[in-house]
Amino acid sequence: MCLSTEVARLENPDIRAAFQSGLDWMERFVMKPHPHLGRKGAVCPFVHPAHEGKRLYFCAIDCREMCFELFLEVMMAVPALFGRIAEQLTTRRDLLSLCIFPINLPVANYYKFVDCAHSILKPIYMVAGLMIGEFHPLSTATGAHSEGIRPLRADVPFFAARSMAVHDKLFIDRASGSVGQRIHELECYLRWTRSSLSLEDIARCTARIDELKHQLIGDEDHADAAV
- Does one domain contain both 64 and 39? yes
Residue 148 lies in a domain: yes
Provide the pLDDT for residue 220.
Answer: 57
Phi, psi dihedral angles at 59 (to 5 degrees)? -145, 165
- Other beta carbons within 10 angstroms of residue 168's beta carbon come to 17
* Tens of pLDDT, residue by residue, the chain (227 residues): 999 999 999 999 999 999 999 999 999 988 988 777 777 888 888 899 999 999 999 999 999 999 999 999 999 999 999 999 999 998 999 999 999 999 999 999 999 999 999 999 999 999 999 999 999 999 888 776 667 778 899 999 999 999 999 989 888 888 888 999 999 999 999 999 999 999 999 999 999 999 999 998 876 555 555 55
| 3-state secondary structure at position 60 | strand
Q: How buried is residue 206: exposed, middle or buried, by Cβ count under 10 Å (0-12/13-18/19+)?
A: middle
Structural domain including 15 reads 2-163
- Does one domain contain both 149 and 187? no
Provide the pLDDT for residue 191.
Answer: 96
Provide the pLDDT for residue 5.
Answer: 96
Domain count, the chain: 2
- Does one domain contain both 67 and 10? yes
- Does one domain contain both 96 and 139? yes
- Does one domain contain both 67 and 152? yes
Residue 169 lies in a domain: no
Q: Determine contact, residues 113/71, Cβ cutoff 8 Å.
A: yes
Provide the pLDDT for residue 49.
Answer: 93
Residue 220 lies in a domain: yes
Q: Calculate ∠ Cα 78-80-86, nearest 5°.
A: 100
- Does one domain contain both 71 and 18? yes
Residue 194 lies in a domain: yes
- Does one domain contain both 136 and 83? yes
Provide the pLDDT for residue 177.
Answer: 86
Q: Determine contact, residues 109/136, Cβ cutoff 8 Å.
A: no
Provide the pLDDT for residue 96.
Answer: 96
Residue 174 lies in a domain: no
As a whole number of angstroms, the distance between CA 139 and CA 85 comes to 29
- Does one domain contain both 135 and 203? no
- Does one domain contain both 148 and 93? yes
- Does one domain contain both 9 and 115? yes
Residue 170 lies in a domain: no
Residue 198 lies in a domain: yes
Residue 61 lies in a domain: yes
**Closest alpha carbon to 151 in 142, 160, 162:** 142
- Does one domain contain both 52 and 147? yes
